[in-house]
Amino acid sequence: MTRFWLIANARSGSVSDTTREGVVAALESRGALAGRTDFPTEPLPEPRDLTAAGVDTVAVLAGDGTINAAARRYADWPGALLILPGGTMNLLARALHGDAAPVAIVELLDQARAVDLPVIAAAEHRAFVGVILGPATAWNRARERWRAGRWRGALRAVRAAWHRSRGRGIAIEGVAGRPQAVFVSAGDDALRIAAVDASDGRMLAELGWEWLTGDWIAAGAVTSLHRPTMRVHGRRPVAALFDGEPALLPAGSVLRLERSRPMFLQTRPILLQTRKPAA
């Protein structure tokens, strides 16, 4: 019998009480629910505590930022991770399960397989969905306040992000100019890099709107590259978002491709490739 542990983030974009309790019922119908964590009110359980409770699968009902925290915490724990869509964009959940709802994904566990995934690494940071670099990361604060319904705070943050995004961009090896935003996602063999020049008002407004409404990938990319690594130029630390979580990268940081262990349960019929990146 499978023993589950559920990690849910009620602050994420689409985790309602009804959804959470539906997932609990579905997990209990497939095995035993050994425990629950209300993150971030409660800390993530330690791997040794999961092992002591006999847990073999951790279900994460949350957005990409919480999923990132769980995936890094349990990178060396021998169990599996079941990623359930509970955020705004749910990019990792879609890659693993398509557009299926959380309860429907649990109901498909009989056909699930464990796969490894490409990971973006830089210094001590890791991203399973993507990394955003440059002045436009200032829009993240506006987005979080927008999502929380803090309209006055969101308006102040929008003004600050607008001002900052019109400043000097970021220097990336192999990218002409200094784009205001660089989006990096992980392919099977290379980093996918999209640089956005939002220095003029029209492009800046487009970038800001796409960010606030959740689909920043739709913003107009002016330069697209595929590379095994990406170096950030400059002598100062660089603002970044790893799966939506803020970080400060040291000057001259190099982003590279790694792979996770085979720990992510996939129910989508198309099997994700599990190749090692080229050395």
Residue 31's CATH number: 3.40.50.10330
Q: What is the pLDDT of residue 236?
A: 86
User: Do residues 149 and 210 both lie within one domain?
Assistant: yes
Residue type, 74: Y
Backbone angles phi, psi at 26, to 5 degrees: -65, -40
**264 in a domain, yes or no?**
no
Of 53, 80, 111, the one marking the end of a domain is 111
Residue 241's CATH number: 2.60.200
Q: What angle do CA 54, 105, 217 make, to 5 degrees?
A: 115
- Asked whether 149 and 13 are in contact (CB, 8 A), the reply is no
Q: Residue 51 belongs to what domain range?
A: 2-111
In 15-127, beta strands by DSSP E: 31-38, 57-62, 80-85, 113-115, 118-122, 125-127
Q: What is the pLDDT of residue 228?
A: 92
User: Do residues 104 and 173 both lie within one domain?
Assistant: no
User: Do residues 131 and 241 both lie within one domain?
Assistant: yes
Q: What is the pLDDT of residue 142?
A: 52
User: Do residues 146 and 235 both lie within one domain?
Assistant: yes
Average pLDDT per 10 consecutive residues for the chain, totaling 279 residues? 93 82 96 95 97 97 93 97 90 93 96 96 93 72 57 59 60 79 87 75 51 50 80 88 89 94 91 48
Q: What is the pLDDT of residue 167?
A: 58
User: Do residues 209 and 91 both lie within one domain?
Assistant: no
Q: What is the pLDDT of residue 265?
A: 97
Q: What is the pLDDT of residue 220?
A: 53
**263 in a domain, yes or no?**
no
87's CB contacts (< 8 A; 6+ apart) are: 12, 13, 14, 62, 63, 64, 65, 66, 67
Domain count within the chain: 2
